[in-house]
Structure formats: C-alpha cells, structure tokens
Amino acid sequence: MGKVVGIDLGTTNSVVAVMEGGKPVVIANAEGMRTTPSVVGFSKDGEKVVGQMARRQTVLNPQNTFFAIKRFMGRKYSELAPESKRVPYTVRKGEIGDIKIVCPRVKKNFAPEEVSAMILKKLAEDASKYLGEQVTGTVITVPAYFNDAQRQATRDAGRIAGLEVLRILNEPTAAALAYGLDKAGSEVILVFDLGGGTFDVSILEVGDGVFEVKSTSGDTQLGGNDFDKRIVDWLAEKFLEDEGIDLRRDRQALQRLMEAAEKAKIELSAVSVTDINLPFITADQDGPKHLETRLTRSQFEAMCDDLLGRLRVPVKRALRDAGMTPRDIEEVVLVGGSTRMPIVEKLVEAMIGLQPNQNVNPDEVVAVGAAVQAGILAGELKDVLLLDVTPLSIGLETIGGVMKKLIPRNTTIPVRRSDIFSTSENNQNTVEVHVAQGEREMAADNKSLGRFKLYGIPPAPRGIPQIQVSFDIDANGILQVTALDRTTGREQSITVQGASNLSEAEIQQAIQDAEKFADVDRQRKQKVEKRTRSEALILQAERQLREVALDFGMQFARNRRQRIDNISRDLKDSLKENDERGIDQAYADLQDALSDLNKEVRQYYADDEEDDLFGTIRDIFIGDKEDDDFYDRGYGRGADRGYDRGYSNRDYDRGYGNRDYDRGYREPDRGYGREPDRGYGREPERGYGREPDRGNGRDNSYPSYDKDYSPRKPSKPSYRDNWDDEDDDWL
C-alpha cells in the first residue's frame, strides 16, 4: 500500500498534509502554494485545469469554470436554496432529481462528486511528487454537520479519484487533533469553524491522548461566500440604481463582482474602508460603464447582521447538547479563513468570554489534523484515541409518518443501537423500513437516507410479529441498517449510500471517465511538451548556424549548415500543420544534423591543437620562424578556447592563465576573448586581435618582430614577474 495523506477538501481552498518523522507537514502544490483553490475548469481547447490555473479563467470563461462545489455534494436539486443556484455556471436538475453541473466546453454534465474527484486527484498527484511514492489512501475531512448523504458523496468522490478513503473525519475534530496533539494537560475546547461554504461548532475534551467530542452543531449553508454575496448584492443594487443595469444577469460581470467582493471583505479585515473599482464592468448604447464606490467596515457589518445571528444559534445548541455553559470552555480555536473577519472574532469573544486562540493557522489546521488521523491509521502515531459523535439524529418512520429516533445526535461513534417493531396491519407479510436523518418529528420533514423491504413475514395479527431493526454507525459515520424477523430468522440489510445520488454503476462509470480524462490530459500534455522541445531545438539550430558562420566563415561546413537550415524549415511547417509524424521525423533529423556539425567543429579544434603542438616542438629545436608565422599560427585567435556553446567540452585555454588581459572585452556567452567580428586570425581585415590597446597579454604596443621575440604562445604568467615583494601587492 502506498502513502496515506490527510486532505481538507474545502469549499474555497483545499489542503493536503502528511506525517513525516512523527510530525504533520503541509505539502505545497505544483505551483508552490500551500493551499489549492477548489476550482475546476475547462479551457477553450477542452483541457481540464484544476486549482490556480482554473481560478484565473473564471472571469473570461465563467460557464466552464466550477467552484464552491462542496455545497452541492450529496444534495438533491430540490434541497438547494435560491442563493446556492446563483453561480456563473449552470446547475441543472438531473433525471432522478439530483444535481448536474453543465459544462458546454466538453458537452457533458458532471455530478458534484466527479468535480470534487478532480480536485482530490490534483492534490494526490502533488503529494505523490513530493513524497516520491504513490498516494493510494487518504483521510478526507467534512463539515461536522454533514449528513450521511454528504459523507457518502465525499467517499464516492475519493473513489472516483482512485483513492481509498480510510476515514471520513469531521473538520472541527481534525482541528482539535492538530491543536491538542502536543498538549499535556486536560482541557475543554470549543472549535469555531467558519469556512468558505460551511459552518461548524464542536466542543471537545482533550487530555492524555484522548480526544472526546462532546457535541457538534453547525450550518452547511453558511460560510464566507454568504458574506461575499452581501457585498455583491449591495454593489449590484447600487449599480442598478445608478445605471439601470442589473449586473447579476451578466455571467462575466457577476464573476467580477464576486471576486471584488471577496477582495473587499479581506481588506476590511485590516482597514476600516476600502475602494472598489471595476472599470468596463458592462456597456450599453451610451458606451462602457464603470463601477466605482467605497465600502466601510461598519457598512459591511451592518449588511451582515442577520448572518451573525445565524452564527450564534449553532454555538448555543452545541453548549446545550454538551450540558455546558460558556464558563466551562477553557480554550476557543478559530478555524477557517472567514474567522479572520474582526466581527467574527468579536462575536465569539462576546459569546464565550474568552479571547480566541491565534496559535494555529486557520487555513491549514484541518489538513494537519487529517494527517494526524492518517498517521494513527497507518500506525505511525500511537496512544491517541479519537471519540467522535454523529451530528444528526437517525431513526425510521413508524405509523402515521412519525420519526422514531434510534440514535440521537451527538452520540459517540462507532455505535450500534436496535429496537423491536411490529406490523401495522393484520396478516402483513412485508415490512418497509424507511431510514431518515434529522431533528424534525415527522419523517417526511427530515432527510431520507434510504428504504428497503423485509419479505416473508408469517401471517399474524397486527402487533404480533417482532421485527428487530438495528442501526450500526462505523468510525466514518457511515450507517448500516439491518431488519430481522425474530420468528423466522429472515434478515435484510442495507448500507445507506443512496444519498450520493450515484449508483454503483454510475460510480464505476465516473471512475472510467476520470481515467479517460487523465489519458486525454496526458496526451495533450505530451503534445504541448513536444512542440516546446521542437521550438527550442529550432532556436538552438538557428543560433548555432549564426555562430559557426561568424566564427569560421561562410564556407565552413556549408553543406551541413544548409541541411540544418532545410530541416528547421520542415520542422516549422510540421508544427504549423500539427503533423505529429512530421514533427517527430524532423526533430530526430535536426538532432542528428546538429550532432554532425558539432563533431566537425570539435574535429577542427583537435586538428588545430595538434598543429600548435608540433609547431611548439619545432620552435624549441630549430629556433624562431619568420615573423609571418606569428600570424599564420593565429595566436590572436582567442586566448580562451573554452568553446562553451555545446561544440566541445574541452577547455582550450592556451596559457593566458589568470591575467586580466582582456577584461571588459570578452563576451560573456562566447568565451573567445574577442569581439565577434574579429574572426580567428585568418583574414587581414578581421584584425587578429593585434590592436595597440589589446597588448596580446604583453604590453600596450604591437608585438616585436625581431629575433628576440618568441612566436610561441604565451606561457602561464610567472607570479614573480608581477609581484612586488615590498608591498605584497599586484603591480
């Protein structure tokens, strides 16, 4: 089995972490960021992009860019509030009343689980690159107030992404794990988790390696996005009043408003007033329109007053369920980026009477806790016991549609509860078990989790047969229901999973589609990389042709250079026509041609070096040659023979050593020790490097041509010649 990681699958941003050396570590994504935007998009070419790249295209491509998908997980279309549907992309009702995300670019409707799977896959791939091994298992966090439907949908998203979901962990519980891992004492903490799309409150008792959740509450339709929407509505109404245009009806304008609102909200956490400027937000017959306004913190807080009221309710409910008062709370931990708003901090402090703890990173703490749980499951951490609770009551429908609760909310899990029921009619041979989740008294008002029937009940008067119904919730919060006829021993059971809105066949199809998308993306990436390599090789070839012609003359390797030029043109044509076979062939031919040219250049230098060696030996034994030999040998051809353009790996430094004789003169990328137009000492007009101010490493005059001057190449400098013994310094 591969590595197990912890993933915080957030509404706005997601984070992945892993245990390393007994410590949780947050893994940066491929872009170098520790948080990954929970955004999936499809470019104009149909390429799937996830994270920051997808977020960049939201304004220009709103219909094919999907965000805040977490709010749609495990829900029916009828359960959505009107505000939840107000997004730039299209949300449609499916055939069975489920939610479908419409993507015009690829002409496909995606289930929310499929979109979330793309985000999970991206996080797993980034983690695999960091770890150097494949990530196969994961612990995924969910809001504590997620019902069974939403939890199962999250598991399905993990399966579609090719991951084994070892545990579904409540986000506040994960935060408590991260916060209290190194705490020695025992204390009661309240975790206030306000994310981009959901809100949770959990009360936990932490101490001696035991994390016991006392109660949990929340609102899965309340988060930072709702605060953003208040600013969006305020801006839109103000613009409608001034210009008579409703920006919310324009997808691109709406997306720009949402981004501006989020930015303003963040800025108002640090300053008391912010300017909102959106030029060219729309246009009419009179020309372009601009949005310019100013928003103060007090205005923002006033328009969010009802949202603050909604934050208070779960806090009070969690305290009541735990049998505690604010005085019993010893520590308050804020989780989620939206808790950075000053008004939220003030609210928590006013309700609990404690200054919230600021020692944890609200963006990363949940993922860190998930990594801790992953370490526990993998055996890396011991002596840590986690006791979580079920967030909502679970029961079944009885006579008259009444909800009979078998497992009350905030019951510690894993848990198993059972009760005895009977028939409602005489001679009834079939019993339908309807499982529901919620706090309402009538089953129809709660979330339906599933139905199944128990057949073969012997005929008997009503009330006589004994049907034992058992509810079993595992550590992931996943429910299994069993019905047993105690008379006949007949048994029927289901694992409640219908809430994901995907059947097993649909999940398998989604897995195949994900693999198909992965193959398509891989092929597209390979094509892009091939084009990039080909374009780079063309540029390299053109550069080498120029340099060879400049350094050796137009006649040097003329045929080879002409062949390289022709192949480069063929490769350009193949790239223009998207001819894959032509690109492959021309790329290989160009590589071979450049290799042949490099060999010829290296051979030239090898022959030249051999000539210089024999000339030196000859001079030693027979004396100096005629003055013209100095020129014939080409001693002014460049002292620095380190031909660093890929032609040779040899260092042809002929002895000029460490002298600063051509400083400020040599080109950095050529290494020849002379200007490009000076050639190699062949033609008189090229200069030979013998200008009076060059000195050839000797002095500032022309070289002496009398018999006292040796035509051999300069030897390495004698340090004694240039050293002043009196002041220990260079002359």
Q: Which of 327, 335, 326, 385 has its CA nearest to residue 360? A: 335
Given pLDDT bands bounded at 50, 70 and 90, which one contains residue 44?
confident
Q: What is the pLDDT of residue 158?
A: 92
pLDDT at 629: 46
Q: Integer distance in angstroms from the first to the last C-alpha of the chain? A: 70
Please state which of the ranges 174-183, 480-489, 599-608, 667-676 shows the lowest mean pLDDT. 667-676
Per-residue pLDDT band for 673 (boundaries 50, 70, 90) equals: very low
Q: How high is the pLDDT of residue 34?
A: 93
pLDDT of residue 668: 41
- The pLDDT of 464-487, averaged and rounded, is 84
| pLDDT tens by residue, 534-555 | 888 999 888 888 888 888 888 8
C-alpha distances in angstroms, 232 versus 227, 243, 283, 402, 584? Answer: 9, 16, 19, 42, 52
The residue with greater pLDDT, 380 or 312, is 312
Q: Could you tell me the pLDDT band of residue 202, with boundaries at 50, 70 and 90?
A: very high
Residue 491: pLDDT over 90: no
pLDDT band at 610 (very low <50, low <70, confident <90, very high): low
Q: Is the pLDDT of residue 262 over 50?
A: yes
CB 7, CB 139: distance < 8 Å: yes
CA–CA distances in Å: residue 706 to residues 508, 624, 691: 92, 10, 19
Contact, 109 vs 101, CB < 8 A?
yes
Which residue reads 């002359």 in tokens? 731
Q: Quick one: 295 exposed, middle or buried, by C-beta within 10 A (0-12, 13-18, 19+)? A: buried
Distance of CA 417 to the CA centre of its chain: 42
Burial 469-503 (b: 16+ CB within 10 A, else e): bbbbbeebbbbebbbbbeeeeeebebebbbbbbbe
Quick one: tokens of 724? Answer: 């002043």
pLDDT band at 680 (very low <50, low <70, confident <90, very high): very low
The predicted model gives 326-348 an average pLDDT of: 92
Confidence of residue 150 (pLDDT cuts 50, 70, 90): confident
What confidence category does residue 698 fall into, taking pLDDT thresholds of 50, 70 and 90?
very low
Average pLDDT over residues 274-286: 89
Secondary structure string (H, E, C) spanning 562-627 = HHHHHHHHHHHHHHHHCCHHHHHHHHHHHHHHHHHHHHHHHHHHHHHHHHHHHHHHHHHHHCCCCC
Which pLDDT does position 423 carry in this prediction? 85
Region 137-165: mean pLDDT is: 89
Residues in the chain: 731
What letter would DSSP give residue 53? H
pLDDT of residue 511: 67
- The per-residue pLDDT of the chain, averaged, comes to 80
Task: Say if CB 480 and CB 495 are below 8 A apart.
Answer: yes
Question: 267: which 2 tokens?
Answer: 């800025």
Amino acid at 98: D
Query: Please, what is the Cα angle at 88 between 86 and 89, to 5 degrees?
Result: 100
Q: What is the DSSP string of 292-356?
A: EEEEEHHHHHHHTHHHHHHHHHHHHHHHHHHT--GGG--EEEEESGGGGSHHHHHHHHHHHSSPP
By DSSP bridging, strand 135-142 and strand 164-170 are parallel
Answer yes or no: are the C-beta atoms of 104 and 1 closer than 8 Å: no
Is residue 38 pLDDT above 80, yes or no?
yes
Q: Residue 266, class by beta-carbon neighbours within 10 Å (0-12 exposed, 13-18 middle, 19+ buried)?
A: middle
Task: Tell me what percent of the residues of the chain surpass a pLDDT of 70.
Answer: 78
Q: Indicate the residue type of 170.
A: N
Strands 99-103 and 331-335: unpaired
Please say whether the dihedral angle defined by the alpha carbons of residues 256, 258, 264 and 266, taken in this order, is positive or negative. Answer: negative
Instruction: Please tell me which residue, 336 or 515, carries the higher pLDDT value.
Output: 336
- Of residues 75, 356, 69, 68, the one with CA closest to residue 201: 356
Instruction: Give the pLDDT confidence score for residue 306 in this predicted structure.
Output: 92
Q: How far apart are CA 222 and CA 332, in angstroms?
A: 20
Share of the chain above pLDDT 90, in %: 31
* Better pLDDT: 378 or 722: 378
Instruction: List pLDDT tens digits, range 409-436.
Output: 888 888 899 999 888 888 888 888 888 8
pLDDT, one tens digit per residue, over 643-672 is: 444 444 434 344 434 444 343 434 444 444
Residues catalogued as catalytic: 8, 70, 171, 193
Nearest C-alpha neighbor of 488 from the set 459, 519, 523, 517: 459
Rounded Cα gap, residues 42 and 104, in angstroms: 9
CA 272 to chain CA centroid, nearest Å: 32
Bond into 414 cis (ω within 30): yes
What is the predicted pLDDT for the residue at 75? Answer: 87
Say what the pTM is. 0.68
